[in-house]
Chains A and B, each alone.
Chain A
Amino acid sequence: MSSITQYLNLYRDNRADVHSHSVELLNESRDDAYAFLQDKSLPDKGEEGFEKTSIEDMFSPDFGVNICRLNIPVDVAASFKCDVPNISTLLGVVVNDMFVPTATLLKNCPEGVTMMSLSRAAKEQPEFVGRYLGKISPKDNVNVALNTLLLQDGVFIHIGRGVKLEKPLQIVNIFNSPAPMMSVRRVVIVAEEGSSANILFCDHTQTRDIDYLSSEVFEVSLAENSHISICGIEESSNHTRRYQQVFVRQESGSNLYINSSSLQNGTTRNDFTIDIVGEHCETYLTGIAIADGEGTVDNNSNVNHLAPHSHSNQLFKYLVDGKAQGAFEGGIYVAQTAPFTEGYQSNSNLLASTTARMHTKPQLLIYNDEVKCSHGASTGQLDENALFYMQQRGIPKDVARTLLMQAFMSEVIDTIPVEGVKDRMRHLVEKRLSGDFMLCGECGSCK
């Protein structure tokens, strides 16, 4: 029996509750999703592209879903002190699957910018939100349908035409629950023509010994000449499972930067599907994974070039220690309709223990001869010559190792377009690599 059945039964048995605690716009797609899912199952390791992460297994435990929207009290201010130094952000907090705006956000959110609870936005402006919700993600994807079926809340971000937002938007996702729980979130990001914004997502798990499952679907649309950066930093717990699917549609002249970094986690699977439908777009998809214990970080990308003259670049680096496993499956697709494409992809990995595993599959699918595409993947260890050189200069071996690992990651960190976020990442990676990550002690999230 597929683990999907328990979610279908949950919906069937509690349909009235689900609907009454939600809003019409979110409710209206649920029955279609239910019908679609009837004979479906979630992908397991037998399925191409899921060799290292079984979504079936991820979803199989009996997680609670907060259908009746019970409020789990979390003292947001007390729990979140790890702010980003040197930059001030417009901050919103998502506790499990409930969006909580901060006072500064409510006060300082500039004209033309919306960042709010998805369900509230859907309730207050159903027509406006309906223009974007469910429009980018495919309806025939099993996990998207499951997300649609049980969708609770999430974030709605809208950057109006021509608005150039200086301050980064920041969403802090906090997991906190006394019992095993699944949260079902949707993030809709809309950048109108000529707009620009930087968005930062930070994932934290507070109750670190509780099992969580997070189902997240991102729908991101970039109108002509818009400019969006999205950085995600995951510092959860080894009991946290996350399946994040990011769907992006890029119109002509748009520029997208995504960084997805897992610094601490349980099982993480990220899918990126980026459709470049306009000409002269730029796309950067980057990520870092530091996995140890029995963790898994599995990134899967599909950058689809459907129009001419666009340029995409993917860069992922992994450090895998302990009994952890890393997986990267990257894809560049160049359609016949996309001449003059440049697509690059690089994946480098360090294995730091005898039991660590790395699986990589960088793929190219090319249907056009006017292209420049390449990919490179390497898996190995730290450079022995560099280690000795540093030791000769008096740097102890363990310090030298840490410095080299940081250097290894810095190629990715250097691509982050927001200085403050870049510094923050550097700091977090340094702390993580020198082993005192867990001893941060500055806030509830890291205790």
Chain B
Amino acid sequence: MDNILLNVNNLHASINGKEILKGINLTIRQGEVHAIMGPNGSGKSTLSAVLTGNPSFTVTEGSVDFHGKDLLSLSPEDRSHEGLFLSFQYPVEIPGVSMVNFMRAAINAKRKYLNEEPLSASDFLKLMRQKRAIVELDNKLASRSVNEGFSGGEKKRNEIFQMAMLEPLLSILDETDSGLDIDALRIVAEGVNKLKSQENATIVITHYQRLLDYIKPDFVHILYKGRIVMTGGPELALELEKTGYDWIKQKYND
């Protein structure tokens, strides 16, 4: 059987009338890791926002199939329930909402969607404890308000912790490496690797090769001016590291 997880077909999207994505085609199978690279402003973060249903963006053309579902017709929460996870480039601070309440609401909403009983408080706390270990997230952080007062590294670890809790089929890591020191980067990457399986897949959006030393991609795509202009293996990322993006800009700047 075909193990295609995500199929993006000629996706166009705009914000405030300005077209950012100009025809994205992308196929992702279970077990794969895809890296999407490109210079600033090429549309990388827009792609993750559009896939997860951020209301700021408007899809003007194209379709997205997510394991047999028409992804674009689903609400953001149902996309999440179907197994789509975004590790935000800038995780949002939500003062007054504790991590515990937040995560429990998320987990139980998903269970309800799947017609499962809600988790009991003790099972939930057990699950929290278990998953926290994956990214070495301090218990103190888990008892605080969502992302409030977290350092840059703590926020990113918190994202991966939530990913571990929700066990998504497809995770998009949007510039998860930005603002991390080398130790935090290692912890985050190891967390991602631990969660990898034959069933799920990962999209790593990044500017640099650095993160890809830890999370080995099967495919590397270069996004430029709203289109994927080049696709290759891990060697393409290494090539970019050496030569930078200037040659891409020259080649495709029509």
Contact = CB atoms under 8 A, between A and B. Distances in A.
- Asked if A and B form a direct contact in the complex, defined as CB atoms under 8 angstroms apart, the reply is yes
Interface of A: 383-386, 388-397, 399-400, 403-404, 406-411
A373 to B, nearest CB: 24
Nearest to B54: A388
A226 B247 CA distance: 75
Contact of B80 (A391, A407, A411): A391
B94 A393 contact: no
Nearest to B107: A394
B76 interface: yes
B101 interface: yes
A392 B101 contact: no
Given A388-B54, A392-B85, A394-B106, 20 more contacts: A384-B55, A386-B92, A386-B93, A390-B94, A390-B105, A390-B106, A391-B75, A391-B80, A392-B52, A392-B76, A392-B77, A393-B162, A394-B110, A394-B113, A395-B77, A396-B77, A407-B96, A407-B97, A408-B96, A409-B96
B86 interface: yes
B75 A397 contact: yes
A34 B52 CA distance: 69
B94 A406 contact: no
Nearest to B92: A389
Nearest to B106: A393
Contacts of B81: 394
Contacts of B208: none
Given A391-B77, A393-B102, A406 B166 contact: no
A55 B162 CA distance: 53
B95 interface: yes
A383 to B, nearest CB: 7
B166 A394 contact: yes
B124 interface: no
B91 interface: yes
Contact of B105 (A384, A388, A403): A403
Given A388-B54, A393-B106, A411 B96 contact: yes
A391 B76 CA distance: 6
Contact of B106 (A386, A395, A397, A411): A395
B80 A392 contact: yes
B166 A393 contact: yes
Interface in B182-241: none
A399 B109 contact: yes
A408 B94 CA distance: 9
Given A394-B80, A395-B105, A396-B77, A388 B94 contact: no
Given A388-B55, A403-B102, A396 B94 contact: no
Contacts of B145: 407
A385 B77 contact: no
A407 B105 CA distance: 14
A112 B55 CA distance: 62
Nearest to A393: B106
A15 to B, nearest CB: 54
A210 B145 CA distance: 43
Contact of A403 (B54, B92, B93, B101): B101
A378 to B, nearest CB: 14
B245 interface: no
A410 to B, nearest CB: 4
Interface in B45-91: 52-55, 75-77, 79-81, 85-86, 88, 91
A272 B94 CA distance: 32
Contacts of A392: 52-53, 76-77, 79-80, 85-86, 88
Interface in B7-29: none
Given A386-B92, A389-B92, A394 B109 contact: yes
A407 B94 contact: yes
Contacts of A403: 97, 101-102, 105
A407 B109 contact: no
Most chain A CB neighbours (cut-off 10 Å) among B80, B103, B107, B162:
B80
Contacts of A393: 80, 102-103, 106, 162, 166
Contacts of B103: 393
A388 B94 CA distance: 11
Nearest to A408: B96
Contacts of B107: 394
B95 to A, nearest CB: 6
A171 B24 CA distance: 66
Contacts of A411: 95-96
Nearest to B111: A394
Given A403-B97, A403-B105, A397 B92 contact: no
Contacts of B95: 407, 411
B96 A395 contact: no
A407 B94 CA distance: 8
Nearest to B162: A393
Given A403-B97, A404-B94, A404-B97, A390 B75 contact: no
Contacts of B80: 391-394
A390 B55 CA distance: 13
Interface in B87-135: 88, 91-97, 101-103, 105-107, 109-110, 113
28 contacts: A383-B92, A386-B93, A388-B55, A388-B76, A390-B94, A390-B106, A391-B53, A391-B75, A392-B53, A392-B76, A392-B79, A392-B86, A392-B88, A393-B103, A394-B81, A394-B166, A395-B77, A395-B109, A396-B109, A399-B109, A400-B105, A403-B101, A406-B96, A406-B97, A407-B97, A407-B145, A411-B95, A411-B96
